[in-house]
Structure 1
Amino acid sequence: MNYPVRARTSFAADLHAGLALTRRSVSPKYFYDDIGSRLFEQICELPEYYPTRSELGLLRAHAAEMAECMGPRAQLIEYGAGALRKVRFLLDRLESPQAFVPLDISGAHLLAACDELQQDYPALCIAPVVADFTQPHDLPPRPAPGSGGRRVGFFPGSSIGNFTPEEAQDFLRMAAQELRGGGLLIGIDLIKDPAVLHAAYNDAAGVTAAFNLNLLERARRELGAEFDADGFFHSAFYNAPLQRIEMHLMSRRRQALLLDGVPYQFDAGQTLHTENSYKYSVAGFQAQAARAGFRPGPVWTDEREWFGLLWLQSPP
């Protein structure tokens, strides 16, 4: 019941901290209020945005193999669950799953998606957890010894790319322990032509721009932040040396953003860094996962090798 209050408090504290930095930044997890979550679902349908279509194609073609890796009577944990569209391919192929546990920070969006999923899978035990999965969180008990099932994870959508290398390593270490005895199916966006990346994050319809700008609008709605209505614009580009897309909100002019009465001065061209999206090679990501305790398993990529789904075996 008090999650929204905690969430607002966390948002305010993190935004103050990020605005106080010399290079201002805020976590991309704050994109995903109800409006942001809906905008992201629209992004996934855009012609320029290849990751969702690529990943859905892989799930459609190889879900049976992926489900075989997970095994019968699995307790399936989905990190950053969102609209619960992709997991349906696995649920259709899994043998007698014990439970499905979706984790997401956007509570209303998650619960609505769970209600819809339950209608289509009435026999499935669905136990949603509204939480920031990068922070300590509670999960239902593991499958009982002798039940024949394992706890396994699903982290689609290349969301791991939003983490810094250090944050990604922290997540992988956490997941390796949380999924001990099971494994993790994870999506990664692969290194490719920067022109393809630029188009994906600067779509002609302006949906990604609206998604980015909604972060400040959320601060206005929830925290009472004050800033010029047209004071910022969306900027996204590929940083080749760091192998990542960067998204920023760039100030159009000299202005002050007011948060809880505290003024944060922006010069023209100064930015608030809102997201990174790192791109990986398969071998590089497998090596990173191995440092967290995983063993590499099967890999599925599309024919252009733009996107990959990797099975990682957890420690025993």
Structure 2
Amino acid sequence: RSLEGALRLGETVQAQVDAERRLDIHRNHTATHLLHAALRQVLGTHVVQAGSLVAPDRLRFDFTHPRAVTPDELERIESLVNEKLLQALEVRVYPDVPIDEARRRGAMMLFGEKYGERVRMVEIPGFSLELCGGTHLRSTVEAGLFKIVHEGSVAAGVRRIEALTGRALYQWLREREHAIRAAAERMQTPVLELPAAVERLQRQLDALQTELEQLKQRAASQAVESLTPIEVDGVPVVAQAVQGVDAKSLGAVADRLIQRGVGVAALGTAHDGKVALVVKVAPQWIERGVHAGNLIRQIAQAVGGSGGGRPDFAQAGGKHPEHLADALAQTPQLVAQQLRG
């Protein structure tokens, strides 16, 4: 692809390889060979390459395996690759080898790939031997370090590993180091003590959550004591907005009112500009025609919401808390209408 200008037949051109980019590819390609060998050593010789990508900034390797690779297995694979990198093993390239000799030596070949009579072979002595036409390091130590950053499924019986080496890995580590340092500063603790600090914070959060639930229950109990029913054709009805409780606690308040003899409990609460509504009906009044789902549907319309539910219990939401009191005020009339059928 020509970015600018034009080429003419017979012209002399100068080709230049981006040395830094090429070295990044060297690192990832040699690491891919090491990864392939490590997978077969840790997981078993059933592992066969099913696809790969060698880019300057990452490598990707697909392989046959019937299940997810466990964290322990990934750690062993990664450690084995890094062990071979740090041993500074020579990467030997044999550019012209008879195919029969390659087979005799046990070189890895891609399933379904067609090879000629003579092939190119890449060896990392004592660990990896593959047929390969790609570019490689001269020594494994030039890759620096190797890090697996993802493992997942791409198809039935095929797994994928994504990994980094060299400059891309250094950048990946720096980003995470900055994030960990920021978290440690926020927690006002040394980096190595960060897990313990997070655990302490979680315990504190759990304790506060328990305390909050207890306060909600107390508020619900107080709400029950403060609500007085009115008689509607013989049915004790409570229809009021309740302060200081959330939507979940609202249901608990309605349950307690029914347990105390209330026939219909229609309750609402407002928080952050939103309305929550609950209607509960005692069994004996369901038999007389009162239906919680139908009640709440009409109440919710007045607060710009919708909802529904069973004859005995219904929930709804709304977006106009300023109309909550008026919406609940219609409950006695709605109950009377249902009783009259």
TM-score between both structures, scaled by the size of structure 1: 0.21
Higher helix content, 1 or 2: 2
TM-score between both structures, scaled by the size of structure 2: 0.20
Indicate the structure whose relative CO is greater, using CA pairs within 8 Å and at least 6 residues apart. Answer: 1
Larger of the two Rg values belongs to structure:
2
